[in-house]
């Protein structure tokens, strides 16, 4: 198993949340995908933290969600120093080993044509191989080819999860992740049939049950605190969230009047 516990594991999205986040007790906001944001999420109660990783012109891996920097320049055209972004290797070194990480890998256009040794997945392999000995890891990506390449290089040393897009049909997502031999499937809330309702979709708890029977753990991203109990009731194993303290509070004090997720969708 990747995640333990009776309640869904709360994973901080890009650290303590997307963008610049004000955390309780902190004087200044923390910026996403930084050591400060990661540690802020842990202090807020997250047991896992999700970070985004992409590559630069000098074959470094840095923390960034987009292929461009804050100035709009493409990171593959800049060195890591020029980008001003945290290097993944430095982040691994700076974090205490008890901080569990979901490494969301962002492949780039140039991965289609650059020599295999320069591609994002190949650069990631040695870092993951070493880091898996120090801390719990999960690698997720929208790119199934990257995930299969990591499986070939790392075997079962690091669990892998397939991410799916907004409104990506769950009947494809769960089947694809299972067929690819993944350990997990990551579902955007827009795909889950709760908000907005989707009459083509079996209830979320049914989809989660099928995923579990297929050997998959299920992540949902990014439920708001008000909706988190409904995802918990549907049986998801983890939630990647922007409001760590809010979701933890919502899961700790569930509302008995939360609607049954089975009522929010019509079976086929």
CA dihedral 84, 85, 90, 92 (to 10 degrees): 170
Counting residues of the chain whose pLDDT is more than 70, the rounded percentage is: 94
Structural domain total, the chain: 1
Q: Establish if 116 belongs to a structural domain.
A: yes
How would you classify the pairing of strands 100-105 and 48-55? parallel
Q: Establish if 37 belongs to a structural domain.
A: yes
| Parent domain of 90 | 9-264
- DSSP-derived secondary structure letter, 25: T
Supply the pLDDT for residue 2: 96
Tell me the β-bridge partners of 240: 11, 221
- Identify the CATH number of the domain in which residue 173 sits: 3.20.20.190
Query: For residue 255, is pLDDT > 80?
Result: no
CA dihedral 161, 162, 165, 166 (to 10 degrees): -50
Q: Establish if 4 belongs to a structural domain.
A: no
Q: Establish if 176 belongs to a structural domain.
A: yes
Q: Establish if 1 belongs to a structural domain.
A: no
Render the burial of 59-74: b for 16+ CB within 10 Å, e for the rest.
Answer: bbbbbbbebbbeeeee
Query: For residue 174, is pLDDT > 90?
Result: yes
Cα of first residue to Cα of last residue in the chain, in angstroms, is 31
Would the pTM count as exceeding 0.95?
no
């Amino acid at each position: 198993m990747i995640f333990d516990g009776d309640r869904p594991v709360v994973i901080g999205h890009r650290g303590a949340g997307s963008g610049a986040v004000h955390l309780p007790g902190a004087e200044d906001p923390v910026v996403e995908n930084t050591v400060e944001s990661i540690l802020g999420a842990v202090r807020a109660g997250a047991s896992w933290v999700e970070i985004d990783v992409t590559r630069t012109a000098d074959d470094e891996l840095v923390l960034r969600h987009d292929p461009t920097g804050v100035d709009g320049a493409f990171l593959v055209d800049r060195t890591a120093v020029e980008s001003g972004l945290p290097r993944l290797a430095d982040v691994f070194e700076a974090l205490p080993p008890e901080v569990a990480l979901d490494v969301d890998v962002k492949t780039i256009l140039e991965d289609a044509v650059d020599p295999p040794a320069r591609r994002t997945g190949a650069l990631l392999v040695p870092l993951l191989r070493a880091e898996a000995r120090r801390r719990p890891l999960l690698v997720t990506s929208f790119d199934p080819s990257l995930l299969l390449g990591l499986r070939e290089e790392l075997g079962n040393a690091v669990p892998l999860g397939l991410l799916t897009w907004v409104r990506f049909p769950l009947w494809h997502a769960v089947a694809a992740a299972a067929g690819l031999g993944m350990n997990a499937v990551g579902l955007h809330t827009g795909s889950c049939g709760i908000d907005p309702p989707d009459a083509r979709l079996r209830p979320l708890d049914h989809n989660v049950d099928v995923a579990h029977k297929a050997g998959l753990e299920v992540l949902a991203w990014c439920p708001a605190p008000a909706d988190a109990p409904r995802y918990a009731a549907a049986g998801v194993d983890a939630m990647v969230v922007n409001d760590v303290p809010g979701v933890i509070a919502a899961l700790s004090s569930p509302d008995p009047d939360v609607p049954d997720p089975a009522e929010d969708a019509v079976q086929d």
